[in-house]
């Protein structure tokens, strides 16, 4: 029983018709449907009465477990399963004028929006028809067909005209199938158009890429050399005093080239007109003249 109840949607304010069918099927399967119509037997003999009471209590439990908590207040004071069943029918299957008016109003105002699922719309339409029939309201079949046709969206106008132009309107079941087939055909065409549009867009993008690749100017040799990053070249260190590589003079390294030019310019000029060379030639070599010669050699190399 637990597995059967798990497949049943609990009773609410809007699903009594379907819940009733499923609940009847479950109770019949478990051989308890008779307790929805049988009255309590007389207290004597006691054994028969006790047995009936136990089975009736199980039937009540089955009903309660398939009702939403918000609706349990309707049946909390019912003594038997039969009382519970009749109370639910009176509540949800009222045959008063208010219920009839609401159902007829819902049927007349039922319209489907463009792009919605036609199958859900048709299911809702015939659900209202079934509820009206339960209230002993029978609508002419041709009138029902016309109401169904005019509940379709505006883009079904050509389909509606084609159906109305016949000598006789099709049966309701036939009309339902034709409407679903027409809607499915249009849905397939719409998907096909979307696929074609996507393929065309992809093809245009591919063509544009090929066109840009063909029209792009070729890179010249000079451009290639200009755009190619040059490898890093390590600077070789050379001593400005002795001329050997691998080390450098601290004083000469800290003096910028511009300062060296300023310092050595007058000395170079003076060396041409002064006896500096005589001093060097005579061997009078001092630390001062040694440093000046180093600066002069650096200036000449610059």
- Digit-coded pLDDT (tens) for 17-57: 889 999 999 999 989 999 998 787 777 788 888 899 999 99
pLDDT given at position 291: 53
Long-range contacts of 80-89 (CB under 8 A, 24+ apart): 80/35, 80/40, 80/56, 81/32, 81/35, 81/36, 81/56, 82/35, 82/36, 82/37, 82/38, 82/39, 84/60, 85/36, 88/11, 88/16, 88/20, 89/20
Rounded distance between C-alpha atoms, residue 150 and residue 285, angstroms: 123
pLDDT given at position 273: 46
pLDDT given at position 237: 64
pLDDT given at position 143: 93
The candidate with the shortest Cα–Cα distance to 88, out of 57, 64, 114, is 64
Q: pLDDT below 50 — which residues of the chain?
A: 2, 4, 256, 269, 273-274, 276-277, 279-281, 283-285
Q: How far apart are the first and last CA of the chain?
A: 107
The helix/strand/coil state of 212 is helix
pLDDT given at position 136: 86
């Amino acid at each position: 029983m637990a597995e059967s109840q798990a497949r049943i949607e609990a009773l609410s304010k809007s699903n009594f018709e379907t819940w009733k069918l499923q609940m009847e099927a479950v109770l019949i399967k478990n051989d308890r449907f008779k307790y929805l119509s049988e009255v309590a037997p007389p207290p004597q003999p006691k054994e028969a009465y006790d047995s009936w009471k136990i089975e009736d209590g199980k039937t009540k439990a089955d009903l309660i477990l398939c009702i939403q908590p918000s609706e349990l207040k309707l049946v909390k004071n019912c003594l038997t399963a039969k009382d519970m069943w009749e109370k639910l029918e009176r509540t949800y299957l009222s045959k008063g004028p208010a219920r009839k008016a609401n159902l007829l109003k819902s049927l007349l105002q039922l319209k489907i929006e463009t792009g919605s699922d036609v199958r859900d719309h048709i299911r809702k339409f015939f659900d209202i028809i079934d509820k009206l029939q339960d209230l002993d309201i029978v609508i002419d079949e041709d009138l029902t067909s016309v109401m169904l046709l005019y509940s379709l969206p505006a883009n079904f106008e050509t389909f509606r005209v084609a159906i109305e132009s016949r000598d006789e309107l099709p049966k309701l079941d036939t009309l339902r199938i034709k409407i679903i087939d027409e809607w499915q055909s249009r849905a397939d065409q719409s998907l096909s158009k979307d696929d074609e549009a996507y393929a065309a867009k992809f093809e245009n993008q591919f063509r544009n890429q090929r066109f840009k690749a063909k029209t792009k100017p070729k890179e010249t040799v000079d451009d290639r050399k200009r755009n190619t990053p040059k490898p890093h070249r390590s600077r070789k260190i050379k001593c400005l005093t002795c001329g050997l590589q691998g080390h450098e003079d601290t004083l000469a390294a800290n003096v910028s080239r511009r300062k060296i030019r300023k310092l050595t310019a007058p000395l170079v000029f003076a060396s041409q007109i002064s006896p500096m060379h005589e001093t060097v030639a005579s061997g009078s070599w001092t630390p001062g003249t040694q440093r000046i010669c180093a600066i002069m050699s650096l200036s000449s190399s610059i």
